[in-house]
Structure 1
Amino acid sequence: MEPTQSKSEYDPYLWKQAKARAGFQMHLRSYFIINAGLWIIWLVSSFSIHSFTRFGYLFPWPIFPMLGWGIGLASHYFHVYHGGSERSMIEKEYQKLVRQQGY
């Protein structure tokens, strides 16, 4: 798909936001693919050694990487979609200083 504008005509702030959102979407896709693979490995290994375990299944160990990575993914989401932009933080601080100075 050809862009309608040349890269030099893009708003740098919006371009940075678009890159951050695309990065988050790739991170989310990797999370689901890798964790699905881990759960498949767990299922296959659980069924293959079913008779050798005390309770008939292996402990669901994929929950640990899923939870740990999920915390990082949630942090990435909030940074990208909820106020992680430098511009909005600078504007908030500027407005606070203006109010303090009584301008």
Structure 2
Amino acid sequence: MAQLTPDDIDRLARRRAGAKMGFYFHLAVYVVINLALFAISEQALGHRRWSAFPLVGWGVGLALHGISVFVLGRGSTLRERMVEKERQRLMREHGGPRP
């Protein structure tokens, strides 16, 4: 793996922190909005709990966002292992230098 300069490290750290902050903001909005929707559905006539539908639908999107940030994001061990495996396969196929 190539050596990173201090500027590269700073830029990468800021990008990763920004991605995590984006997820936390998404999570906070999810909680606030779904609490409001739950309160509205409780006050609605007929007391049908329709608030579960946006809760689940948006929850799937939130889960995918979390996976993309914490599991598949740059620097994750899973992603780095997959990249390294693919790099080695390409090196073998195209006769590049051996690690």
Fold-level match, TM-score > 0.5?
Answer: yes
Q: Does 1:96 align with 2:89?
A: yes
Q: CA distance change for structure 1 residues 13 and 92 in 2, over 3 Å: closer, same or farther?
A: farther
Tell me the distance in 1 between the aligned counterparts of 2:9 and 2:74. 17
Please report the RMSD computed on the Cα atoms of aligned residues, expressed in angstroms: 2.6
Q: CA distance change for structure 1 residues 14 and 91 in 2, over 3 Å: closer, same or farther?
A: farther
Tell me the distance in 2 between the aligned counterparts of 1:92 and 1:15. 27
Structure 2 contact 34–51 (Cα < 8 Å) conserved = yes
Q: CA distance change for structure 1 residues 14 and 99 in 2, over 3 Å: closer, same or farther?
A: farther
Aligned-pair identity in percent equals 38
Kindly provide the CA deviation profile for residues 63-83 of structure 1, in whole angstroms up to 9, marking residues without a partner as x. Answer: 111111001000000000002
Structure 2 contact 42–48 (Cα < 8 Å) conserved = no
- The number of equivalent residue pairs is 86
One-letter amino acid matched to 1:16? R
Which runs of at least 4 in structure 1 moved beyond 6 Å after TM superposition? none
**Aligned position for 2:32:** 33
C-alpha deviation, 1:85, in angstroms? 2.0
Q: Which runs of 5+ in 2 are unaligned?
A: 1-6
Q: Which runs of 5+ in 1 are unaligned?
A: 1-7, 50-56
**Aligned position for 2:64:** 75
Tell me the distance in 2 between the aligned counterparts of 1:17 and 1:96. 28
SS of residue matched to 2:22: helix
TM (norm. structure 2) is 0.71
Kindly provide the CA deviation profile for residues 22-50 of structure 1, in whole angstroms up to 9, marking residues without a partner as x. Answer: 000000000000000000111122xxx4x
One-letter amino acid matched to 1:15? R
C-alpha deviation, 1:92, in angstroms? 4.4
- Matches of residues 1-103 of structure 1 in structure 2 within 5 Å? 11-45=10-44, 49=45, 57-85=46-74, 88=80, 90-100=83-93, 101=95, 103=98
